[in-house]
Amino acid sequence: MKRLLIAVFAGLGLLTVVVLVRTFLHVPENSEAVEHVMIQLDERAIAQRLSEAIQFQTVSHQDPSLRDQKAFDDFILWMGNSYPDVQNNLSHERYGDTVLYFWQGSNPELQAILLTGHYDVVPVIPGTESLWEHPPFSGEIADGVIWGRGALDDKSAVIAMLEGVKHLIESGFKPERSVYLSFGHDEELGGPNGAGQVAAALKKKGVQLAWSLDEGSFVMDDMVPGINFLVAPINVAEKGSISLQIVALAKGGHSSAPPRQTAVGILAEAITKLEQHPVPGGLEGLSLQMFDEVSRYMPFVPKVFFANLWLFDGVLDKQLSGDGLTNAMLRTTTAPTMLSASIKSNVLPIEAIALVNFRLHPRDSVDDLVSYVKSVVENENVEVRYQEGSGRAASEVSSWDAEGFRVVERAIKEIYPGTVVTPGLMIAGSDSRHYGKVADNAYRFNPFILTKKDFAGFHGTNEQISVENLSRGVQAYIQIIKHGAGE
Ligand SMILES: [Zn+2]
């Protein structure tokens, strides 16, 4: 007995030592020190131009008849007039209302790069206008903040890229690698006529980009609980999306003599099963890389868990799966969104239908998902239907070891010293689903700071960006283009 106790204690002691040693060794990998860069810019003039850009109501409506074509034409005209250096030094083409600029590099042997953003915006939800502290299309600048729809998504990126190129031209910079700039007009509608057409045209010309940079993640400030430093996940992939119909079948008839279970009951069971059996996922590949990197900078206690995945894998999985945002990083998510059944209160339904939206993680294909869902809801009275070709799989996963990633990483660290840069996964969609088809690697990242408060402005109320934040973003784009296309 005594021997057994000694053995148990020795085992526990050894385990503790291993856990502690691994935790102490879980430190940032030695990366090259990056020098802080500060570029003097005319912040007020830049803010003024974003303010003007916001005032064009370039809204993408679901209903195309509501579209204000003049706003788009005026914006394009304004862009050319406001950035004459860009307009005169770069060639430009229009694809619908999307403008593609081309800055010829001195070395045609090198693959070109592309920077892109979109200047269309989502509508302001009718009735919420009065909730805005400054009207959504006023572009008002008050207390160092620029207000309005597009301040973050994504006119700020469009303006910051234009300002970056303007600054580089003024300072005599000549790109060695050619640079494309594409400013989309229908990203909020999936980008078929803008980014889709640009990508098709590039493909036709035989252009294969070294890398592209589009909207995506930000320099996160205080977004993740427990992390008190800046984190910049450069998104290297975006999730796919598919909606499946789960259909429960039954006999129907009069509601006065119902069977033990109606189609609605059968459907409810199927949905409950789906919610109780999330699509398998976990800390691996891209998600593992991200959490591993960030956890090296965490305080001791959370670090213990990430440094010892061999022991705490299950605990962490449970913890991360419990939060909507971190869960979405780990797996394909399941979201029942729409329901329909009988047409009348006293008529038994012959079909009860739920529409379930799944956001596909790069680890799952559409076919994988459909067979998983079928296996979970398995019941002779339940069908899983989907329109062939209706969904889209996740994008390819771009390399976080390639030059483009390193260029963006370096620029972030130069402008935002001390930021932890990791690869990330985009849980929404972007125009990169098109550009990724003509680029070796597609990255999705906006070099602006984003706080929880800012996040609420996305497609919401009181969208805003500070003058200082905008200026830092311009500086980051300058560094990105300099490193990406030049020295
Ligand atoms: Zn956007």
Angle 155-170/43-55 helices, nearest 10 degrees? 140
Percentage of the chain exceeding pLDDT 70: 99
Comparison of pLDDT for 77 and 34, the residue scoring more: 77
CA of 453 from ligand 1 middle (Å) equals 17
The answer to whether the CB of 409 falls within 8 A of the CB of 479 is no
Return the bridge partners of 235, or none. 424, 444
CATH of the domain at 474: 3.40.630.10
Specify whether 140 is catalytic: no
CA of 447 from ligand 1 middle (Å) equals 14
Residue 217 lies in a domain: yes
pLDDT of residue 8: 85
pLDDT category, 231, cuts 50, 70, 90?
A: very high
**How does the average pLDDT of the chain come out, rounded?**
94
One-letter amino acid of 99:
V
67-75: long-range contacts, CB 8 A cutoff, minimum separation 24 = 72/97, 72/120, 72/185, 73/97, 75/119
| Residue 389: pLDDT over 80 | no
Residue 21 lies in a domain: no
246 and 226 together in one domain: no
- Rg of the chain in Å (alpha carbons): 26
221 and 81 together in one domain: yes
Tokens representing 431 are 């125009």
Tokens representing 125 are 């939800």
Q: Which of 97, 140, 163, 187 is catalytic?
A: 187
CA of 398 from ligand 1 middle (Å) equals 20
Return the bridge partners of 355, or none. 245, 338
Burial (CB count within 10 angstroms: exposed 0-12, middle 13-18, buried 19+), residue 54: buried
| Residue 473: pLDDT over 90 | yes
pLDDT of residue 299: 85
| Residues surrounding ion ligand 1 at CB below 5 Å | 153-154, 215
pLDDT category, 108, cuts 50, 70, 90?
A: very high
Which of 332, 358, 385 is the last residue before a domain boundary? 385
411 and 442 together in one domain: yes
Q: How far is CA 122 from CA 59, 150, 226, 386, in A?
A: 6, 8, 32, 28
Residue 120 lies in a domain: yes
pLDDT digit string (tens) for 27-69? 887 777 889 999 999 999 999 999 999 999 999 998 999 999 9
How far does the chain reach from its first CA to its final CA, in angstroms? Answer: 71
316 and 454 together in one domain: no
pLDDT digit string (tens) for 296-307? 888 888 889 989
127 and 186 together in one domain: yes
pLDDT of residue 290: 87
The answer to whether the CB of 228 falls within 8 A of the CB of 222 is yes
pLDDT of residue 471: 98
pLDDT digit string (tens) for 129-186? 999 999 999 999 999 999 999 999 999 999 999 999 999 999 999 999 999 999 999 9
226: left (phi over 0), alpha (psi -120 to 50) or beta: left
Helix (H), strand (E), coil (C) string for the chain: CHHHHHHHHHHHHHHHHHHHHHHHHCCCCCCCCCCCCCCCCCHHHHHHHHHHHHHCCCECCCCHHHCCHHHHHHHHHHHHHHCHHHHHHCEEEEECCEEEEEECCCCCCCCCEEEEEECCECCCCCCCHHHCCCCCCCCCEECCEEECCCCCCCHHHHHHHHHHHHHHHHCCCCCCCCEEEEEECCHHHCCCCCHHHHHHHHHHCCCCEEEEEEEEEEEECCCCCCCCCCEEEEEEEECEEEEEEEEEECCCEECCCCCCCCHHHHHHHHHHHHHHCCCCCCCCHHHHHHHHHHHCCCCHHHHHHHHCHHHHHHHHHHHHHCCHHHHHHHCCEEEEEEEECCCCCCEECCEEEEEEEEEECCCCCHHHHHHHHHHHHCCCCEEEECCCCCCECCCCCCCCCCHHHHHHHHHHHHHCCCCEEEEEEECCCCCHHHHHHHEEEEEEEEEEEECHHHHCCCCCCCCEEEHHHHHHHHHHHHHHHHHHHCC
Cα 392 from Cα 185, distance rounded (Å): 21
Residue 27 lies in a domain: no
227 and 247 together in one domain: no
Which of 358, 385, 412 is the last residue before a domain boundary? 385
pLDDT digit string (tens) for 421-461? 999 999 888 899 999 999 999 999 999 999 988 888 888 89
Mean pLDDT of all residues in 193-215: 97
pLDDT category, 487, cuts 50, 70, 90?
A: low
Specify whether 383 is catalytic: no
266 and 214 together in one domain: no
CATH of the domain at 353: 3.30.70.360
CA of 388 from ligand 1 middle (Å) equals 28
pLDDT category, 469, cuts 50, 70, 90?
A: very high
Total structural domains within the chain: 2
Location of structure tokens 């980009």: 209
pLDDT digit string (tens) for 79-97? 999 999 999 999 999 999 9
Location of structure tokens 């019941």: 379
Q: Which of 97, 120, 163, 364 is catalytic?
A: 120
CA of 367 from ligand 1 middle (Å) equals 29
CA of 155 from ligand 1 middle (Å) equals 9
pLDDT digit string (tens) for 277-335? 999 998 888 888 888 888 888 888 888 998 998 889 889 888 888 888 889 999 999 99
Burial (CB count within 10 angstroms: exposed 0-12, middle 13-18, buried 19+), residue 472: buried
209 and 324 together in one domain: no
CA of 430 from ligand 1 middle (Å) equals 7
Residue 33 lies in a domain: no
Tokens representing 76 are 């394009």
458 and 352 together in one domain: no
Of 115, 114, 113, 134, give the one whose Cα is nearest residue 124. 134
Which of 322, 357, 385 is the last residue before a domain boundary? 385
CA of 174 from ligand 1 middle (Å) equals 30
257 and 375 together in one domain: yes
pLDDT category, 344, cuts 50, 70, 90?
A: very high
Regarding pTM above 0.85, the answer is: yes
pLDDT of residue 273: 97
CA of 428 from ligand 1 middle (Å) equals 9
Residue 391 lies in a domain: no
Of 86, 96, 70, give the one whose Cα is nearest residue 187. 96
92 and 222 together in one domain: yes
CA of 120 from ligand 1 middle (Å) equals 8
Residue 20 lies in a domain: no
Residue 428 lies in a domain: yes
296 and 180 together in one domain: no
Residue 219 phi, psi (nearest 5)? -80, 105
Name the residue range of residue 262's domain.
240-385
The answer to whether the CB of 329 falls within 8 A of the CB of 353 is no
